[in-house]
Structure 1
């Protein structure tokens, strides 16, 4: 068991290092700054309690945080009787009149909608690896899975995403 001062130091360092990533993922999933902040704070509160009890090994704290984050987001959705928000195309600013820019927005929205149709584990891997650009090792740590499994999930997720886009007539080839 680590000392109280070491526990606080571990928590503080972890908080400073991971807060931006935790908040960013929560915001991506919830599409609300307030909810993302609330959920992120709740996750770190839970983690701190577990660190104080000595229930989390230092090398596994990152995986624990992201597992707690996913579970807390799911709990929030269940409590509110909702599923992930999808930004509607008509919510995008109409001030932008450039056709190519509008086309990019439409394509972005189609991909977001298609992403929401992926099974959760594929969705997480595709978002973290491709959208957010995290390295394989980091995604593997977040999910608590081997790197080889993450590679496989990414391949299958991209393949499934392509199928969804093709079925919707958004992608041919």
Structure 2
């Protein structure tokens, strides 16, 4: 797949604007999920993911073809997410918590076929608890935890994305897990 992506990049550099649509199509869900796990908000994640693709397109000439494109794109999305976290202002969105529903949004109240309402609620509550714990982590730990356990990237890939030595990545993952353990307590 990386070969296909590199071919598309060569086409973009030669002026084929449509080639970038293939790249967006391939990576859009992964980049959105990364941003969502970092930011914890659907609207912000959509905005940051879109900005990441725009930045990648505008700066495609700076892409080093000896590096994996996915690592380069993840770095852009991660940096934009970190910037958003640092500038975060409280916003109100249509999918914000519904008053009197213990943290549920209208979207999260839709039934999942195949599971009981109790199981679905328990799973939703666990997911929400874990997501809240991840959002409490300092950004340097949150970033590596999301990249390692949500996006399932290797230590090498995380090292490339964050431009950090592997030893630093390992330390941050360890400290992030310890902090999560503390936040999650008896779960």
Give 1:50 shift. 2.4
Q: Which one has the bigger helix percentage?
A: 1
Aligned partner (choices 90, 95, 103) of residue 89 of structure 1 = 103
| SS at 2:109 equivalent | coil
Unaligned 5+ runs, structure 2? 1-8
- Show the counterpart of 1:6: 10
How many residue pairs get aligned? The number is: 160
Equivalent pair of 2:71/2:157 in contact (CA under 8 Å): no
1:65 maps to 2:57: no
- Show the counterpart of 1:31: 41
The 3 A distance-change label for structure 1 pair 142 and 98 is same
* CA RMSD, Structure 1 to Structure 2 (Å): 3.6
Rounded Cα–Cα distance in structure 2 between residues aligned with 1:64 and 1:132 = 15
Aligned partner (choices 112, 120, 125) of residue 101 of structure 1 = 120
Q: How does 1:1-173 map to 2 (within 5 A)?
A: 6=10, 8=12, 12=20, 15=24, 18-28=27-37, 29=39, 31-32=41-42, 35-52=44-61, 55-58=62-65, 59=67, 62-76=70-84, 81-82=89-90, 89-91=103-105, 92-93=108-109, 95=111, 98-166=117-185, 171=186
| SS at 1:133 equivalent | coil
Equivalent pair of 2:34/2:146 in contact (CA under 8 Å): no
Give 1:37 shift. 4.2
Unaligned 5+ runs, structure 1? none
- TM-score, structure 1 normalization: 0.68
